[in-house]
Amino acid sequence: MDIYFGQFLISDNKELLNIETVKSFLARSYWANKRPEEIIEKSISNSYCIGIYRERSQVGFARIITDDATTYWLCDVFIDEDYRGHGLGKKLLETITNSDRFKNMMGILGTKDAHGLYEQYYFEKDNERFMRRMPDFIRNM
């Protein structure tokens, strides 16, 4: 999948991923700052990943764990601090939640501070930190 959004490319091509950029961001995050680099590398290897790129620089990332039938876990979502405010996070979530692959699965994620963003894509609070998005076919009943 390659989607162009202005000057940005959103792609699931793992060959484009800059693993060092991903590790650097996760090292600064509240949720993965204690995660060893080898674990980050293994998690990327074993997950569906989407990157956002400007020219050849990686500016965004999302990792998705799924059984490809009923459920996906959306995690490690980031937009580089220098590129926030350009709609990239929204476009990334729109790409994921509207994709044929994920739209009919339940989506789950954890966040401390981005509830408002995820609610725009039909994720609902399940408690203070976790959110859930019901499959389109259930929400549209």
Task: Return mean pLDDT, the chain.
Answer: 90
Q: How far is Cα 10 from Cα 5, in angstroms, rounded to an integer?
A: 7
Q: How far is Cα 88 from Cα 121, in angstroms, rounded to an integer?
A: 14
Summarize pLDDT for 33-54 with one digit per residue, the tens: 888 899 999 999 999 999 999 9
How far, rounded to the nearest angstrom, does the alpha carbon of residue 2 sit from its chain's CA centroid? 15
Over residues 117-137, the mean pLDDT reads 76
Model confidence band, residue 129 (pLDDT cutoffs 50, 70, 90)? low
Would you say residue 124 has pLDDT above 70?
Answer: yes
Would you say residue 126 has pLDDT above 80?
Answer: no
Report DSSP state, residue 123. Answer: -
CB atoms within 10 A of CB 122: 15
Domains along the sequence of the chain with CATH: 2-140 (3.40.630.30)
Summarize pLDDT for 81-94 with one digit per residue, the tens: 999 999 999 999 99
Would you say residue 139 has pLDDT above 80?
Answer: no
Strand order in the sheet with 8-11: 2-5, 8-11, 48-54, 57-66, 71-79, 106-110, 130-133, 124-125
Work out whether strand 71-79 and strand 106-110 pair parallel, antiparallel, or are unpaired.
Answer: parallel
- The string over 21-55, giving b where at least 16 C-beta atoms fall within 10 Å of a residue's C-beta and e elsewhere, is bbbebbeeeeebeeeeeeebeebbeebbbbbbbbe
> Which residues, at least 6 apart from 100, have a Cβ–Cβ distance to it below 8 Å?
none
pLDDT of residue 10: 97
Over residues 53-64, the mean pLDDT reads 95
